[in-house]
Amino acid sequence: MAATNGRTVTVFGGTGFLGSRVVRRLRNREFNVRIASRHPDRGHRQFGPDNPLLQSVEANIHDERSVAEALTGAYGVVNAVSLYVEHGQETFHSVHVESAQRIAAQARRAGVERLAHVSGIGADAASQSRYIRERGEGELAVRAAFADALFIRPAVMFGPDDALLTTILKLLQRLPIYPMFGHGSMRLQPAFVEDVAEAISRVMQRAEAHPTIFECGGPRVYSYEEFLRAVAYQAGLKPILIPIPFAAWQALAWISEMLPNPPVTRNQVELMQIDTVSSPGIPGFGELGISPHSVEEILQKMLSGIPGALA
């Protein structure tokens, strides 16, 4: 590992689910961190206003000047901005392709030495899924603008206050009969968000910049049904799992999207039909010296409510 020498890393999306943890891990490695977000007050609330090695700045990823100002004097940049539900002008293309390219191009212009772009396992510009396709196109756009970019592709992430484990646990506790997506055969390899954040911090500190792609999947591959049963078992629940055809989910999602905060979208239903498992030939946690935590281990700590157990 290389010394940080007080170098500054700008983190776009540094107040989000993954980004806030990346900020803390970078600070643990003695980087100066600049949190770039549209709401800098969130950074002050999360990390405190008086930390001299943390700076919260207002930045809009859709605006070149704003992005350029956030990158001034930075050694490195982490793009941890993500979008799962589109809202108006906030589309998969505008966030994952256009803004990703903007950050990469401005980083190159500013003389930034290291760029870590957070994408996702399965990112593929030829995918039939629009979300996965835009993720893949985003990687190509970033590579074209910043040839030495490093790509972090997490599997679906879990942790306290996430959109996966916490949501499923609440639903299992409330619903004795649980509706599954299809027959529950989709495969997933959930990764603990803190492990992914640690991987990004190690990538930023590494003396060498290669390999350029890391796929971060957890220690176990589940079918969706196995995952539900594992979560239920840890929580002491015995739900009845009922397969629901994807056509029915698509119809429900179409109606749901008319609501201000849809509980399920057509894009989410589409993603539940696609395996998200790391590729055997691509480096991951092991290459970075990380032993990933299991869903069962973290869920036990979440259920026990032990303060600091998940840091």
Average pLDDT, 10 consecutive residues per value, the chain (311 residues): 75 94 94 90 67 86 95 97 85 95 98 96 90 95 96 95 88 93 96 97 85 92 96 94 95 89 83 91 94 95 69 58
- Report CA-CA distances (Å) from 163 to 31, 146, 160: 29, 31, 9
pLDDT confidence of residue 2: 58
Full-model pTM: 0.92
User: Would you state the structure tokens that stand for residue 264, as one six-digit string?
Assistant: 């399920």
C-alpha distances in Å from residue 144, one per residue of 34, 100, 105, 136, 172:
25, 11, 9, 13, 44
Contacts for 191 with CB less than 8 Å, ≥ 6 apart: 154, 155, 156, 157, 158, 216, 217, 218, 285, 292
CA 102 to CA 95: how far, in whole Å?
A: 10
Nearest Cα neighbor of 9 from 60, 80, 65, 66 is 80
Domains belonging to the chain, first-starting first, are: 8-158+190-217+279-292 (3.40.50.720)
Per-residue buried b or exposed e for 236-248, using 16+ beta carbons within 10 Å of the residue's own CB? ebebebeebebee
Chain centroid to CA 60: 19
Q: Report the alpha-carbon distance of residue 282 to residue 294 in Å, rounded.
A: 20
pLDDT at residue number 311: 58
Of 33, 23, 112, whose CA–CA distance to 68 is shortest? 112
Q: For residues 115 and 177, what is the distance between their CA atoms, to the nearest angstrom?
A: 46
